[in-house]
Each structure stands twice: as structure tokens, then as C-alpha cells.
Structure 1
Amino acid sequence: MALISLEDLDGLDDEQLDDDITDNPEPMEDDEQQRLFTHWQAVASTHQVSIPQEMTGPIQEMTHRNRTQEREQVPFISISRHEKLGELMFEERMYPAGKWACVTKAEKLYEQSISMGFMKLMKFICKENSVGRYLGMTVPIVNIIKMIEDSKGFEKDVLTAYYLPAEFQANPPQPTDPDITILQREAIRVITRTFFGTTTEETIMPQINLLWELLGPSDQVQRSSYMVAVYENPGVSCRRNEIWFIRRDP
């Protein structure tokens, strides 16, 4: 699965791409590589981002690997689930301390920042690291946003984070890109709610407001920053995402 925080591409879904992507470990033919690259470029254009030609290799690598290997779930403990008429409204979870590869971008639009940030992480995952190998995909990719003072919009700086697979937690590979930093992040307790579709500033703000309505007034949750967790690839028309509220005290 080619996981990236980009909008869905109309008219071209995962199944159509899978028809053209072989499970054979041999390199793709040039026309297949170009079709895959064109797909990603079209998706990126919806976020006003252009994918450089140098991304052809990582796109091919991740597409093949994510079809033949399991994605590793970021570990967590479910603390409580809150339902109404059988529907899950929100869930409280504890994520343990761990090492994450992080990059911060400050583009004009939120969606540009997360797209540019993940492209850098994608190259790190696909061999641009000190061990020179594909590291494996973990989900979700998490984007950390900070609110401007009036709480009606986001600050430009957006941190995009990739949880290192379990085999690399003790001895993390080092990135060749100086913009990527390996951070030991402390345990975090979050309140999460699932939503589906695209992840832009316009779609995220209503999700933040909705979760506040469900929670009601609370001084136990941060209002200055939130997280957006992304699980699906851009070919999925109804992508799964989560908004995470951060508890002040784990």
C-alpha cells in the first residue's frame, strides 16, 4: 500500500493499479513505472504538490512491498470506548514511548506540508538510510498540527512522523536526509475518533469541532495541538483517518 497523506484520485483506484503491478520481484517495465508515477503525480496535484522524478524508485519499491508484506500497527492499549446506540463515538488509548522518524515542513497549505514531509520519509523508508534497506511500513502515519492563537486555523509548521518498526526500535537506522530526525517520543494518551475521506485543513477542522462537541468542556485535553492519523493510501475512495486529542497527563 502506498501510504501518503494526499487526496484521492478520481477515476483510478487501487484495484486498477494492482492490475498493472506484478508480485514478481523483478523491476517493473518502464511503462508500468511511468503509469504508477503518473497516478501519484495526479493525486499530488490535488494538493498543489508536484512529485519529482526521483520519487519513481521509492514509489515502485513501496507499492510492491506493501502488496507483499504486512503493515505493522503502531502498538497501543485501549483504555475505554464510548458508544451511542451501538456506534463508536470515540476511544481513549495509550501509546507507549518509542522511536519515530520525524520531519517538519511549513508549506503554504497543510496538505502541502504533509505531502512534502511524507515524501521525505518515504525515501528514508525505501533504503535512504544507514542500513541501505527497505525498513517496512507502519501505520498510522501521524501528522502533528498546532493551532494559531484564535484556534480557527493551523500554524504553518506540521510535523509528520513514522513509527520505526519493532526490529529497529533498539537501534534505529539513521537517515541520509538531514531534515529527518529520529526522536524518542514519550508515552502519550489520546482520545481518538475515526473519520473517512481526505485530510485537508478544511476537512480536519470540522472533525476537531465535532469531537469537542462529543466530549464537552474539558481541561484535561490540549487545545493548542492535535494529531491526524492516516491509515489508507490515496487510491482508496473512502480513506480511514483519525483525529487524536492529546491528554495533558498520560
Structure 2
Amino acid sequence: MARITLEDLNGLDDESLDEDEEPMDGEEQNRLFSHWETVASTHQVTLPQEMAGPIVQMTQHSHVREPVPYVTLLQHEKCEERLYPAGKWACITKGEPMYEQSISMGFMKLMRYICKENSTGRYLGMTVPVVNEIRLSEEGTELLRDVTTTYYLPGEFQPDPPLPTDPDIRIVERQPLRVLTRVFYGMTTEETILREIRLLWELLGSTDTVLRESYMVATYENPSVPQRRNEIWFIRRAE
């Protein structure tokens, strides 16, 4: 069964607490969990009770989100070209029947790593965007089942990343990544992602400077935002 996604757990504006506020009591925690059960049901996913603690932690810290660093190289009329420096990411790959299920189940595990299940035993902090790496079939008409969900380690932990207790999560040091990006808004489903890939190819025209088999989908906001921000990333070939 699919689990709740980053978009569902990334934030809850109406329920967010300031650091100076008192910790939630049991009734408040139950109300928060019930809210996210409702949100999860709209995505046809199930929220297990074991996520109650991490949800509270993420909600209490939802006002602090560290951006993944990058440099803008070029601002095209149709898209933006960026360079993301080398850095360490926590990654997990899932191959569920649906794209939404893969990213949901992957981020469930990453969320537990972020909140406590790591070698420091502490909350690590949230960074945005979370990036989902996808591959297309040879015909380019559908996504392959394996999707890798990735979380950039906050700057504090880049020199020495906390080790995950979950063996499915691996820490990867990425080389600099050069991408062409284009914003789109709304839900991220297989249908919308394929549409955005086709659209950016139409805008770019014929070119062999970017990969055709691999892409990235960056997610920034939670589902309470009606037209939440996402980006499709085309990966520049290494020179």
C-alpha cells in the first residue's frame, strides 16, 4: 500500500508551531494526525500510526527549510540553467506500480531518517527541494518503475553525514550537476510529469546536449497550496 508523500508532510501552515510555543499535548497531536490522515486519503494512500511522532517534529520545524545551493548560469526565455555543486544526498529507490506510490514510500523512510533514525539520534532539518530521479522507457512513453527519492543533507552535516539506521537508505556524494529547469504547478503524477517533459522538449527543440533517458522532478511545497511549485530538470551531458 502507498504511503504519504513529501508533499503531504512537508508543511502544515495552519498547524505549525513557533519554537517558543509549548509542545503539543496529546489531543493536539491526535488532531494533527487526523488532519494528515484526511490529506493522505485524498491521495489514496494510508498513513500508519508510526508516523505520528515524525509528523509532529516536521510540523514544529516547518518554518525552517534550508534551500539546496545552486548557481544560476543562464536565464533563458523558456527555462533556467543552473549548476548544483557537489554535495551529499540521502537516497532511496522504490519500484512500486505507480510513480506516486514509489515517491510516497521512499519519502516515508527518508522522513524517519531526518527525524530520528540516524546515527545522531536527532532531527536533522529539512531541505528543499526534494528531488525524484526518474527514467523513461525506450519509447519515451512511460516512466520506469524504479524511482529514486533524494534529500540533500543540510550544510551542517555535509562534512560528516549521519548514517541511516535503515539499510535501504544510502548516502551518495554527487558530482556537480548542471541542469535545465522549468517550473510547473499542481500535482506530480506520471501523467503530468510526462506532459512537462514533452513540453520542455518542444520548447528546446532538437539538441543532444541533455540526457533523454533520465530526468529529475523537484518538489517544493505541500498539498495545502492549490497550485504548488514543482520543477522538471533536464540533465546536461558531461563535457
Alignment TM-score, normalising by the size of structure 1: 0.88
1:104 maps to a residue whose letter is T
- 1:208-236 per-residue CA deviation (whole Å, 9 max, x = no partner) reads 11111110011111110110000111221
CA distance in 1, matches of 2:175, 2:97: 30
Q: 1:234 aligns with which of 199, 223, 228?
A: 223
What are the within-5 Å matches in structure 2 for residues 93-132 of structure 1?
A: 93-132=82-121
CA distance in 1, matches of 2:183, 2:221: 12
Matched, 1:29 2:31: no
Q: 1:51 aligns with which of 41, 47, 54?
A: 47
CA contact 2:15–2:59 (8 Å) conserved in 1: no
Sequence identity of aligned pairs in percent? 60
Q: 1:27 to 1:17 in 2, by over 3 A?
A: closer
CA distance in 1, matches of 2:164, 2:112: 9
Matched, 1:66 2:66: no
CA contact 1:5–1:114 (8 Å) conserved in 2: no
CA distance in 2, matches of 1:14, 1:237: 13
Structure 1 unpaired stretches of 5+: 8-12, 84-88
Q: 1:222 aligns with which of 195, 205, 211?
A: 211
Equivalent in the alignment of 1:39: 35
User: Is the partner of 2:217 in helix, strand or coil?
Assistant: strand
CA distance in 2, matches of 1:125, 1:23: 18
Equivalent in the alignment of 2:72: 78
* Offset, 1:50: 1.0
- 1:16-75 per-residue CA deviation (whole Å, 9 max, x = no partner) reads 434xx56555431222212221222222233332111000000000110123xx311111
2:7 maps to a residue whose letter is S
CA distance in 2, matches of 1:17, 1:74: 25
* Offset, 1:193: 0.2
Equivalent in the alignment of 2:15: 17
1:178 maps to a residue whose letter is P
* Offset, 1:157: 0.6
Choose 33-42 or 73-82, whichever is displaced more.
33-42
2:75 maps to a residue whose letter is R
1:80 maps to a residue whose letter is L
User: Is the partner of 1:66 in helix, strand or coil?
Assistant: coil
CA distance in 2, matches of 1:223, 1:25: 49
1:4 maps to a residue whose letter is L
CA contact 1:33–1:56 (8 Å) conserved in 2: yes
RMSD: 2.1
Structure 2 unpaired stretches of 5+: none
* Offset, 1:15: 4.5
Equivalent in the alignment of 1:191: 180
CA distance in 2, matches of 1:200, 1:4: 13
CA distance in 2, matches of 1:217, 1:43: 41
CA contact 1:5–1:118 (8 Å) conserved in 2: no
Name the count of aligned residue pairs. Answer: 236
Matched, 1:4 2:6: yes
CA distance in 2, matches of 1:112, 1:174: 25
